Amino acid sequence: MPSSMIQVHDKRFEIFISKEKINERIAEIGREISKDYLGLNPLFIGVLNGSFIFASDLFRCLSIEAEISFIKLASYKGMSSNGDVITAIGLDENINQRHIIITEDIVDTGKTLSSFLPELLQRNPASVKIASFLSKPEARQYNVEPDYIGFEIPNKFVIGYGLDYDRLGRNLPDLYVTSSVSSEVP
């Protein structure tokens, strides 16, 4: 197995985006947000678990006053026709008239955020934007687009930099993608 490849559970992954490239891009987004939100004291809301690394790196790249808080999203069977209802746990802050930046690890189908955004908007924030480390535009099924995107990637499964495969892989500093090389161990 080449050294750039790793095995997690039953799957092999190969390196996709290096930690150097990731750091460069996060610094760029940090500068952009610092310019856009100067004097507005935005409140970052990190969606756990996946975004904890992206949120903390991005937060340290800001040169403006800003606050941060974390939530967990839980889904339960609701009465809506499209299945599960997603609700936020841990959103204790008063977000009335606050400028909110939601930080996500990845927007895939968009289901998670499109279910959670109405709950957030009910609390009357001044504005809501989304910063997502990754976006898979080809996978989108719901009408939600991040405003700040680290990288647009193809519709493939990735791990590392906070993202997991069945709970493992979050601690990898680089981003890895499922390998086309057979995962059968010879």
Question: Which position among 30, 42, 50, 146 is part of the footprint of ligand IMP (CB under 6 A)?
Answer: 50
105 lies in the site for ligand IMP, by CB under 6 A: yes
Tell me the sheet residues that pair with 127. Answer: 99
8 lies in the site for ligand IMP, by CB under 6 A: no
108 is catalytic: yes
Helices and strands per DSSP (H, E), number in the chain: 3, 10
Alpha-carbon distance 128 to 103, whole Å? 11
Which residues neighbour 55 within 8 Å (Cβ) at sequence distance 6 or greater?
Answer: 44, 46, 68, 70, 103
Nearer to ligand IMP, 17 or 106 (CB): 106
Q: CB of residue 14 vs ligand IMP: minimum separation in angstroms? A: 14
Alpha-carbon distance 48 to 30, whole Å? 20
Nearer to ligand IMP, 14 or 36 (CB): 14
Which residue of the set 108, 164, 166, 174 is catalytic?
108
Alpha-carbon distance 64 to 146, whole Å? 21
* Identity at 149, one-letter amino acid code: I
Question: Which position among 108, 149, 160, 176 is part of the footprint of ligand IMP (CB under 6 A)?
Answer: 108
Q: CB of residue 5 vs ligand IMP: minimum separation in angstroms? A: 17
Site residues for ligand IMP, window 118-177 (CB under 6 A)? Answer: 157-159, 163
Binding site for ligand IMP (CB under 6 A): 50, 104-112, 157-159, 163
